With several copies, the nearest count.
Chain A
Amino acid sequence: MTPRLSLYLPGDTPLHRARADWKLSVLLLAGIGVFLVRSPAVLGPCAGLAAVALLSVRTPPRQLARHLTGPFVVLALVPAAAAVFQSAATAVTVGLRLCTLLLAALAVTLTTRTSDILDVLERALRPLERTRLVNAAAVGLAVSLALRFIPEAFHRFHDIREAQAARGLSGSPVALLVPLAVRMLKSAEDIAAAVDARCYPPPAARHTERGGAAAAPPPARSPAPAGRKDEEATG
């Protein structure tokens, strides 16, 4: 009923065992490198390598086919368009580039746990943290909350659609989205309260911000509480 929330396929191949940060770094470098090269003599082997990497993952064929339909459409249509509008040489270059990237990315995506990728991203963000533009703990919380509330939003969307259908309305996007957004906004207050009530942010994150206790969010103060004054405007 709810969508499956990860592309990761458990397994024990060399790529599964490889460290997530290595895999992602290689992917990133390949992504840049491939656009610096035009020669099919270089790009061809690259694409071959990517294909081998993907096959080494030993995905069940049916699942692999399903994962490849998206990239396949791109791989078929983009070079075709390039051949028609540009030249055959461009078509080959473009085709091999995308082939390399899409297959390699799929290989990495299938073999790396979401949590591991997020760990790497969080570590990559850490240097930025010193600039005070990024708060790694906040990013971590945002990702977790999003994962928690994607299925919840999905349920709510259905529930609202159902409740409307049960009451005779079907399919007006405005009538559907207004209550969804309002419910999400409304629950934000309770969720934030629940997060605060469990002592977020964690101590490490608090030290990175200046002054320990200052990092505690200023709580709602009535009669014009930070979290609630919004509602009063409704009157």
Chain B
Amino acid sequence: MRVTLDAVTVRFGSRAVLQDLTLELSEPRIGLIGANGSGKSTLARLLNGLVLPGEGTVRVDGLDTAEDARAIRKRVGFVFQNPDNQIVLPIVREDLAFGLKNTGVPRREIPERVERQLAHFGIAHLADRPSHALSGGEKQLVALAAVLVMRPELVVLDEPTTLLDLRNRNVIRAAVAALPQQAVVVTHDLDLLTGYDRVLVLDEGRVVHDGKPRIAVPWYVEHCS
């Protein structure tokens, strides 16, 4: 899948949070790093039309996010930074089924796909738990599972491992590595980026470095800490 940003600027009030970005994202694994407030989440939200550019255009496989948001969202899955707001239904199992129902997956297939996804993440035991009573890390796993169960073509993950323990972090890392899909990952967990095809470093709404993780990560560590 090819995502292109063309002279994109995003403002909140009078502050430009992203400034005149022109980018093409087509590599299978792309990392997005940068200081707090540098605009990573905003850039990520541009990719499926949750934020629209004030100036410029964002295209996903040729479709403009400002026009075809629905079609794009079907193909671009998004995992939010705060799982509390991403889990929208009261029971874990229902939450995973939610997206499937919306995209018209035949009813008979839904339970099986949900089970399989939960098992794949080793959280089958959570299926009937109320979503509000999960621990932070459990919520993050459920949020990711709920997006992957929809089999999007591109997955955007906004800090998917922040609340996870070692084991679960490895689970997510492996899950992301094994994804057949393209993935864009926003993270502060630099270890996550080993083996990625490309890493963008953002600073105050601009891309200040763009390259292989072997170079980009040390560059970021040197310039930004």
Contacts and interface: CB of A to CB of B under 8 A. Distances in A.
Given A1-B12, A216-B70, A231-B133, A198 B150 contact: yes
B88 A197 contact: no
A220 B52 contact: yes
B78 A166 contact: yes
Contacts of A69: none
B95 to A, nearest CB: 8
Contacts of B146: 167, 198
Interface of B: 10-13, 45, 48-54, 65-66, 68-71, 73-74, 76-78, 80, 82, 84-90, 94, 98-99, 101-104, 130-133, 146-147, 150
Residue among B70, B89, B99, B147 with most chain A CB within 10 A: B70
A21 B76 CA distance: 40
A58 interface: no
Given A144-B90, A165-B69, A199 B99 contact: yes
Interface in A138-174: 144-145, 147-148, 151-152, 155-156, 159-160, 162-170
B88 A164 contact: yes
Nearest to B74: A199
B52 A170 contact: no
A179 interface: yes
Interface stretch (A46-54, A125-133, A221-229): A221-229
B101 A152 contact: no
A152 B132 contact: yes
Contacts of A187: 84-85
Given A199-B70, A220-B50, A231-B130, A179 B13 contact: no
Interface residues of A, number: 54
Contacts of B69: 165, 196, 216, 219
Chain A at the B interface: SS class: helix
Interface of A: 1-2, 5, 144-145, 147-148, 151-152, 155-156, 159-160, 162-170, 175, 179, 182-183, 186-187, 190-191, 193-203, 213, 216, 219-223, 225, 228, 231-232, 234-235
Chain B at the A interface: SS class: mixed
Given A162-B50, A199-B103, A222-B11, A175 B88 contact: yes
A198 B99 contact: yes
Contacts of B74: 168, 199
Q: What are the 9 A-B residue pairs with the smallest beta carbon separation, nearest first?
A: A168-B102, A167-B99, A216-B70, A198-B99, A190-B85, A159-B85, A221-B52, A151-B132, A199-B102
A194 B102 contact: no
B50 A219 contact: yes
B205 to A, nearest CB: 12
Contacts of A201: 102
B104 A202 contact: yes
A166 B88 contact: no
B90 A182 contact: yes
Contact of B82 (A190, A216, A221, A228): A190
